[in-house]
Structure 1
Amino acid sequence: MLKLTAEDHARVSAAIAAAEEKSAGEIIAVTTDLSDRYHDVGLHYAVLAMFAALAVLAAVPNCLVWWYQKLLPWAGEPSLQQALTWVLFIALAKFLVALFIMKWMPLRLALTPRSTKARRVRRRAVELFRTSAESRTAGRTGILIYLSMGERRAEIIGDEAITKVTTDETWGEAMKALLVEVKQGRPGDGIVAAVAIIGDVLAQHFPRADNDVNEIPDKLIEL
């Protein structure tokens, strides 16, 4: 899992302060280890493993008798009740084993579809934007940089005044600069690079006024 150091925090804070010196924008940087625990994904794979076991038993019923006699050689040919009980036991065992294996987060993340991770990261970013940046500035010029390090995905979300003069494509360079460093294991460098690019864009659209005040602390928030 990626980690941020005290030096990273100091560098990001300095980068935010430098970017805001040029504009009326307010940049908020937030990171988290994971945007979601993806418990439902683990459950889905466990159910899939259970149905796969049932499908194998349905396709090759003789293997059920073979395993039954192998494990219980003294029991002889299983009755219908015994066979169905054995089927239930196998299905339950497959489900529980798969569910236990899927508790290992690296595997759960690896098996989670990219589209699912993208939706969960986006949803979490929007939630955080609404509580940390939306409508917290007089000019509605707050912007959130959100990095979810477990998924290695990020979101950049701007307040009302920013969205009126930008599009998602506006932040493509900042997003690329961020994720390139994240993939190299340097999240601090990525955030600093993204903040600098975002600061330049904000300076073009919202130049700093003489009476501008710092409305949101210049610091990296780690959840």
Structure 2
Amino acid sequence: MSLLSPADHARVTAAVTAAEQRTAGEIVTAVAARSDAYHDAALHWAMLAMLAVPAAFAFWPDAALRLWGVVADGWGPAPAGAPYLVALVGSTVAFLLVRVLLAQMPLRMAVTPGATKTRRVRRQALALFRVGAERRTRGRTGVLLYLSLAERRAEIVADAAIHSRVDDAVWGEAMAALLTQVRAGRAADGLIAAIDRVAIVLAEHFPREADDVNELPDRLIEP
């Protein structure tokens, strides 16, 4: 299922085509549902919950015996290993419970640290850039505009010639325009706004030449 409507795809493609009339740079756009499944984040939280159980019993050692008494009421005195058995069962239950809860992607995304999301989005953008844009133009003037919807994060990755002339901080206005619209639920509008601002920067450093040809596809990619 497409993330954006056919009409939005057409609008973004048209925006790229129009932008490239002003510059020798080549703009590639991509939008993904998310950049990672974050299974490791879910596992880390489950392990933390598992370790929290014996840690709690270490602070309140009588709690394990009281819990055993509730569960095994009438079975006679607690055996010597009762606290350890209670801790083992409690740890297992805590681990499985958190794993089941975090099988739900919205909840998993909510508990994944923001820094982790940022790194994964950046990693995915770089991987896509290497495949779809890096060194694919004669002047090394490709630039990728990548949006990851679930994380509400974006990346702009530029080829060697652009990177040598344009500082990463320059893309801040384009990123702000994009993410403002994404947070309002208008991903296509955000991409179009960012494309326009990227084109302004590219036109300043890489104006369109008479013999310029379109070297990379203008269509929006959904990897």
TM-score range, shorter chain: over 0.9
Structure 1 counterpart of 2:174, one-letter code? A
Structure 1 counterpart of 2:77, one-letter code? E
Structure 1 counterpart of 2:189, one-letter code? D
Identify the residue that residue 138 of structure 2 maps to in structure 1.
138
Structure 2 counterpart of 1:190, one-letter code? G
Structure 2 counterpart of 1:212, one-letter code? D
Structure 2 counterpart of 1:200, one-letter code? I
Give RMSD over aligned pairs. Answer: 1.4
Structural mapping, 1:1-223, within 5 Å: 3-223=3-223
- 1:3 offset after TM fit, Å? 4.1
Verify the 8 A CA contact 1:65 1:77 in the aligned structure 2.
Answer: no
Q: Describe the superposition over 1:198-219 as per-residue Cα deviations: whole angstroms up to 9, x where unpaired.
A: 1111111111112111111110
Please give the alpha-carbon distance, in whole angstroms, between the structure 2 residues aligned to 1:82 and 1:164.
66
Verify the 8 A CA contact 1:133 1:143 in the aligned structure 2.
Answer: yes
SS at match of 1:156: strand
Structure 2 counterpart of 1:37, one-letter code? A
SS at match of 2:157: strand
User: What number of residue pairs does the alignment pair up?
Assistant: 222
Please give the alpha-carbon distance, in whole angstroms, between the structure 1 residues aligned to 2:115 and 2:160.
27
Query: 4+ residue runs of structure 1 moved beyond 6 angstroms?
Result: none
- 1:76 offset after TM fit, Å? 2.2
Percent identity (aligned): 47
Structure 1 counterpart of 2:177, one-letter code? A
Q: Describe the superposition over 1:149-169 as per-residue Cα deviations: whole angstroms up to 9, x where unpaired.
A: 110000001101101110011
Q: Describe the superposition over 1:2-53 as per-residue Cα deviations: whole angstroms up to 9, x where unpaired.
A: 9421111000000000001111111000111111111111111111111111
Please give the alpha-carbon distance, in whole angstroms, between the structure 1 residues aligned to 2:76 and 2:188.
66
- 1:83 offset after TM fit, Å? 3.3
